[in-house]
Amino acid sequence: MTLYRCLKPRRRSVDHSNAGRVKRRRDREGPSRVIESERIESTRLLLQPLTLEQGDAFSRGDRDAQQWAPGFPTDGDLRQAQILANNPERAVSQVNVWGPYTLTEKRTRLCIGGIGFKRLPDATGTVEIGYGICASRQGLGFMTEAAGRLCELARVEGALAVTAETLALNVASQRVLEKCGFTRLSTQHESIWWRLQL
């Protein structure tokens, strides 16, 4: 799977046209766990903010004392680490959930992949996600679990829809989105765009 494919870093800004809508939903449903702990849990996974220090370890290939599954980090993880290094304001914090996360398997405590929001929600309340997982953990339902949990976070935080892009030949990634309730939106060249209304 490809992580954060075609991600184009943007200067962080606040979309005031959507701020009221996001705030109303937060007021109605309460803050998400990530605002309090900067960590999200699902049945088998921990979604934890990708840090600059982790990204640096990815780039150096420093596996000493790292709890990484075989095949992690992937090329996508390395790209995301570089994007974060160039745009540190994208890091997840107590005031920003719209950034990158690592996936840790609870049972083994090993880092197995990454997932995250590519940017802030736009004026329509739509936000795009990207994800990827190392080969040693593919086909076990981990990414479906993580994507579903991230979409739930987006809903609680005020987003109105989630989109994602897959390669036309990446059937496994497409199945992840279908299981999470996404519908096919359009096909552009070698890519398929998907959308989930929250």
Nearest to 150 by CA among 183, 176, 124, 123: 176
Alpha carbon distance 74, 113 (integer Å): 8
pLDDT of 61: 79
DSSP-derived letter for residue 124 is: T
pLDDT of 198: 95
pLDDT of 59: 83
Give me the CATH number covering residue 90: 3.40.630
pLDDT of 102: 95
Contact status, residue 178 vs residue 170, Cβ threshold 8 Å: no
Q: Which two tokens stand for residue 193?
A: 């765009």
pLDDT of 65: 66
- Side-chain-side CA neighbours of residue 7 (13 Å): 30
pLDDT of 38: 61
Tell me, yes or no, whether 126 lies in a domain. Answer: yes
Tell me, yes or no, whether 190 lies in a domain. Answer: no
Tell me, yes or no, whether 149 lies in a domain. Answer: yes
3-class DSSP state of 171: helix
Mean pLDDT per 10-residue interval, the chain, length 198 residues: 36 42 46 54 94 89 82 91 92 91 95 95 97 95 97 96 96 96 93 97
Tell me, yes or no, whether 135 lies in a domain. Answer: yes
Domain span including residue 106: 16-162
Tell me, yes or no, whether 129 lies in a domain. Answer: yes
Tell me, yes or no, whether 69 lies in a domain. Answer: yes
HEC string for 79-96: HHHHHHHHCHHHCCECCE
pLDDT of 13: 40
Tell me, yes or no, whether 198 lies in a domain. Answer: no
Alpha carbon distance 2, 6 (integer Å): 10
In the chain, the number of structural domains is: 1
pLDDT of 63: 76
Tell me, yes or no, whether 10 lies in a domain. Answer: no
pLDDT of 95: 85
